[in-house]
Amino acid sequence: MLSGPRLVLPLIWGTLDTAPALGQACLCTVLQPAGLLVNCTSNYLLEVPPLPSDTTELLVQGNGITTIPSGLFDKLVGLQSVSLTGNPFHCDCNIEYLRNWLLRNKAAVSQEPTCFGPSSVTQKAITELTDDYFIQCGPRGFGSSTSAVVMILMLCCIIVLLLWSLRLAKNCTFTLKIEEKHMGLKADYLHPLRVRHRTRLSALNDPFYVLTEELNIHPVNKEFLPQVLDMMHKKHNIKIKAT
């Protein structure tokens, strides 16, 4: 692999107070035909510094890095090689992004980094952490946040549709057409299934009761029918048209 001139860029980020060379910067080397090698080896870094977008190789071994921010490596579309060993990674919920990235980019890492803590996973490779290990962790990262927003929007849409459906059903009007030849039909056809369990009402106060309870064995009187139809329309919002 051919390399160009070595450049020193100001990529200092979170150095330890015990650093023997305080202010030591990462070394950046331009690669041919394209790319950039960023060498931050043993720089006493606590965090990965902001990286150029054209970084293709990253060396950050031997520092004090405990975690990798979610989405950090995703922004480096040309990243091909990363060295992360020698860092005291704390394998809590925040390390899940690095675990997932390492699983997707095994070819980019020659030696897998290990956990420094907690004690239950000390010296365990980060890629060996299972999904069950992170089951107690809540959703994190851009992808999870986006999914949550989408789910909330979908839930709101469903609620709006339900409210609209209820309002539409409340204002819905049923129209029944009775042909002339059926004007003498018996009231049994209009008799509710559970009318016998209703409390008996006075015939003077409820003409519909007369229709369903008293006239169930007699043909409907044509003179009485308009009054019943009008009552059904007012009380039950049911329109019946005689044709």
Residue spans of the domains in the chain: they are: 3-138, 173-242
| Sequence-ordered list of residues with C-beta below 8 angstroms from that of 104, at least 6 positions apart, any chain | none
Residue 179: pLDDT band (50, 70, 90) is low
Once rounded to an integer, what is the mean pLDDT over residues 175-183? 58
> What does residue 37 show for φ and ψ, rounded to 5 degrees?
-100, 120
CATH of domain 3-138: 3.80.10.10
| 136 alpha-carbon distance from chain centroid | 17
Whether pLDDT at 203 is above 50: no
Q: What H or E segment, with its residue span, contains residue 51? A: none
Whether pLDDT at 112 is above 70: yes
Q: What are the CB-based long-range contacts (under 8 Å, 24+) for 163-171?
A: none
Q: What region, left, alpha or beta, does residue 27 occupy, with left being phi > 0 and alpha being psi -120 to 50 degrees? A: beta
Cβ-based neighbour number of residue 206 at 10 Å: 15
Rounded to the nearest 10 degrees, how much is the dihedral formed by the CA atoms of 134, 139, 141, 142? Answer: 150
Once rounded to an integer, what is the mean pLDDT over residues 18-42? 77
CA-based end-to-end distance of the chain: 93
Question: Quick one: tokens of 172?
Answer: 């819905």
pTM tops 0.85, yes or no? no
Query: Token match 């015939």: residue?
Result: 203
Tell me the pLDDT tens digit for each residue of 140-178.
Answer: 544 455 666 778 888 898 999 888 888 887 776 656 565
Average pLDDT of the chain is 75
